[in-house]
A and B are shown apart, each in its own frame.
Chain A
Amino acid sequence: MQEATFLILTALASGSQHGYGIIADVREISAGDVRLRPGTLYTALERLRADGLIAVDREAIVDNRLRRYYRLTPAGSRRLSAEATRLRANATTALLRLSPARDAAS
């Protein structure tokens, strides 16, 4: 799973959000490292919708502009959970191997 996809799913994990909200949230989650642009975001959303990982929750017209709110589907939650577990396992392994205990042993 690409980092942008992971972050989009993470942004939706706490509740439904619209496109601009996802962009802002992804920026916050990544501490400003990932700045999604609208084209990239909507390509990812289109793919995630087609794969059944997210769905449209509701729509609203705000200042005469369409806002569509997206939410995670159960399949999306499972996928995000699996990916987060995998990343955590990799990160744990990396940290263990970098730990001073290992340096002392070698």
Chain B
Amino acid sequence: MIIAFTSLKEKIRRKEFTIVSVIGALILLTFGSGSGSLTINGKAVTDYSSLAPILLTVVNAICCGLSVVMSLGTIPNEYERRTSHLVWIRKIPQHRYHGELAVANILSGLASEAILFLAILIFMISYGKTGELWRLIPAYLILGINITIVSAMTSAFSIILPRPVSGAVSAAAALVGIFHGLLSILKDIIGGFAGEMIKYFLKVIPNLHGIQREAGNVLCEKPIDLHIILTGLLGAYVFGVLILVFKRKSS
């Protein structure tokens, strides 16, 4: 795992990681303070059970976006800088090399999630939920599935596709995943050919929205749907396998 940790250190040193995470945490604190101007249907949203899922929606969107950005260049950069040659001479197989770099991508995404969860921790304390703080751990792990999926997906595509293409495909897939619930409703409203097309997209793209909702259910003491979580883990597994399977020319 030396490759993974070296790559992770490099990522955490990058400014965009810190800047995006800190700005995200500040946004969350503003929403979560109850003094923000968040309204739904003209009514101010200030109660815990309404705000907690909204905060997780923001964390999910920021972390998924950050995961695409941070995972996009990791593997291609290694080849462009010819660092890969240092690995080949040590007889490290390509799939392990790609795998460790992808692990670094996933861990950096999870690190940004941890920073944003600090804001949720403060939010929970401010709402007197100190006895419920343990719920942050399962919620963090469940939401971490999304970050794992997006990081693994972007890493896998970055092995075989040119950077702009893999970036566009990964960002589009992450967006569809984040808006899975909304698109599912849109599909039912518009119907017809367009509705059918959306339906097929939704079948192959992981339901990041559903996983985020389950994380919210944990925070709000609601029952969780194990099927959605397992489906998310299976999605992460599939992209993980693709990382090991996809090959890239060494030179």
Chains A and B come from one and the same complex: no
